[in-house]
Amino acid sequence: MYEVEHWINGKRVKGTSGRFSDIYNPATGEVQGKVPLASVAEMDEAVAKAAEAQKAWAKVNPQRRARVMMKFGDLILRDMDKLAETLSREHGKTIPDAKGDVQRGLEVVEVCMGAPNLLKGEYMDSGGPGIDLYSMRQPLGVVAGITPFNFPAMIPLWKLSPAIVSGNAMILKPSERTPSTAMMLAELLQEAGLPDGVLQVVHGDKEAVDAILDNETIEGVGFVGSTPIAQYIYGRAASNGKRAQCFGGAKNHMIIMPDADLEKAADALVGAGFGAAGERCMAISVAVPVGQETADKLIDLLVPRIEKLKVGPYTAGDDLDYGPLVTPQARDRVMGLISSGADQGATLVTDGRDFTLQGYEDGFFVGPTLFDNVTPEMDIYKEEIFGPVLSQVRTDSYEEALSLVMKNQYGNGTAIFTADGEIARDFASRVNVGMVGINFPIPVPLSYFTFGGWKKSAFGDLNQYGPDAFRFYTRTKTVTERWFQHIAHGGEFHFKAMD
């Protein structure tokens, strides 16, 4: 049994609230550790110390701040195996998946090495008679990141890297379910040369979140999680005058046209639907074949692929397809939604509720589950399941399939598999979803673009990473200046506006 601590002013600090949350081993069901849940007083103290550290950090020129990111990136690569093992131990995902988690975060760190170019302002001379104008990007001050359990490395790195390299201090509140990876990242940043206090890692639950939202010193808040909490955080942050970007849930559809390569589409659906046990906001959870023949063929291709999936603890080797869910509550919720799908009339093709693993009977495992003949009125369609469950919704035409996607309340990601370029271009142009894949199942943009959904998948005007991150973590100041000519008359200087 281990106890995670807070990271305050460059040191591990024990919590003083007296409240703790359990950290599970998802494969065995055992409680393996505990994490402190910060009080309002603890959070406020961390913010105050961050504000002090930020003053000096903001004066460090962007090139030197970028050098810290360069060293940080090297250290992440050095400790990749350690980070992945720690991440898998608390989350349950396979080691290759955990390394992918770290790698996608590292790619944002690498973009932040070019921060001097992204932080430049603009200049215009002769805006008027003798008048010049220029703008500069300045850090907000102290900002906060509230990050989810399902990507313990990637999302914290998406938040803290652009925030810190822009000259801010960051309060990071990682998920209390998977807190240890964030602590390791904090130690690596210190080793990379980040001054103490610029990054504070404070663990907690709703009390800590509300303390962030109500603290007057914090100027901006970034969040990733479920839609109800994203909407709550966005509203409360905005009412307190804070800048906020909050990313919520998803229900990602993949349309399969009759002319698609169905073998490749089936491979894509299995990887995108069941990878990471479905615990990712960009998972494909709804397959939408066009035409009954397409749907029948797709089911026939999916079943043998699903039956070959290997599920187990991360310690079983790198050939696993996915591991357990993160907590017993997560498992029970997914099990309940599978039952509701069967009760509401969907065809249960493969039933993950029956999955057992010898020696790990108490682990939070759910087997791969496939539904056919799902309709939009069913709970398994309406809710984000966040588990290894793929639903097939049959449609008779492209327009019907497109309408299904566009009517859904979520708009994170979507994809279409087709050999028809005209259909693909029409889909990309018309669909009201933030990230679109064409013959590509999980369209997470590369780190020098930007990540963000539409509709109830996102609240706020700016996306994560890429240029938008630097816009979010800085504010623009514009200066209009005019200088006067010095005219000497008999040893005295007189001033007049320059023509």
- The secondary structure of 177-195 as a DSSP string is TS-HHHHHHHHHHHHHTPP
Give the C-alpha distances (Å, rounded to integers) separating 450 from 156, 438, 453.
16, 18, 10
User: Pairing between strand 131-139 and 123-128?
Assistant: antiparallel
In angstroms, rounded to a whole number, what is the distance separating the alpha carbons of residues 246 and 452? 10
What's the token pair of residue 358?
A: 């010898």
Q: Residue 406: CB partners within 8 Å, gap ≥ 6?
A: 430, 431, 432
Residues 6+ away with beta carbon under 8 Å from 22? 31, 33, 34
Helix H or strand E segment including 350? strand 347-350
Instruction: Provide CB contacts within 8 A for 169, sequence distance 6+.
Output: 50, 51, 53, 54, 57, 141, 142, 143, 197, 198, 199, 200
Dist CA 278 CA 324 (whole Å):
10
H or E stretch at 245: strand 243-247
Report which DSSP code applies to 282. Answer: T
One-letter amino acid identity for 340? S
Please list, in sequence order, all residues whose beta carbon lies within 8 angstroms of the beta carbon of residue 399, skipping any fewer than 6 positions away.
none
Chain-centroid distance of CA 95 in Å reads: 19
CB 322 within 8 A of CB 283: no
Task: Please list, in sequence order, all residues whose beta carbon lies within 8 angstroms of the beta carbon of residue 30, skipping any fewer than 6 positions away.
Answer: 24, 362
**Cα–Cα distance measured from residue 125 to residue 132, given in angstroms and rounded to the nearest whole number:** 4
3-class DSSP state of 79? coil
Our answer to whether residue 281 is catalytic in this structure is yes
One of 265, 269, 281, 390 is an active-site residue; which one?
A: 281
Q: Is the dihedral of CA 467, 471, 474, 477 positive or negative?
A: positive
CA distances for 314 relative to 13, 22, 91, 92, 151, angstroms: 30, 20, 10, 6, 16
Residues catalogued as catalytic: 281
